[in-house]
Amino acid sequence: QVQLVESGGGLVQAGGSLRLSCAASGQHFSTMDMGWFRQTPGKEREFVASIAWINKYIDYANNVKGRFTISRDNAKKMVYLQMNSLRPDDTAVYYCNAGVRDGVGGGYWGQGTQVTVSS
């Protein structure tokens, strides 16, 4: 069992930066692939980024490559998403996920944190 709690969302102007954090509890965190997803009203939840546990292989959605950076600290049971050069279309609720595979979310989700980018 893994529980996830996101933080760090907020309101930022276009071009600004935010850092999202995801705190995990549970003994299997260090052996789980972790990811971030986002969702806007009326749309499906979409993959943003993931980081594997065994070799820390990283994958990004095309529309965030070069702007977002995912990282993890297994000792602290934390996952981060550094978001730079934010755009209004990055506005969404961002969710942390455990067990992501090939861009598809696994069985564990956080409650989400709102990111709003103003133009």
Task: Give the mean model confidence (pLDDT) for residues 78-95.
Answer: 98
pLDDT at residue 78, rounded to an integer: 95
Is the pLDDT confidence value at 10 over 90? yes
Task: Give the mean model confidence (pLDDT) for residues 1-16.
Answer: 96
Is the pLDDT confidence value at 26 over 90? no
CA distance 112 to 92: 10
CA torsion, ordered 67, 72, 77, 82, to nearest 10 deg: -20
Nearest to 72 by CA among 48, 55, 91: 55
In this prediction, what percent of the chain has a pLDDT beyond 90? 88
- 40's CB contacts (< 8 A; 6+ apart) are 91, 92, 93
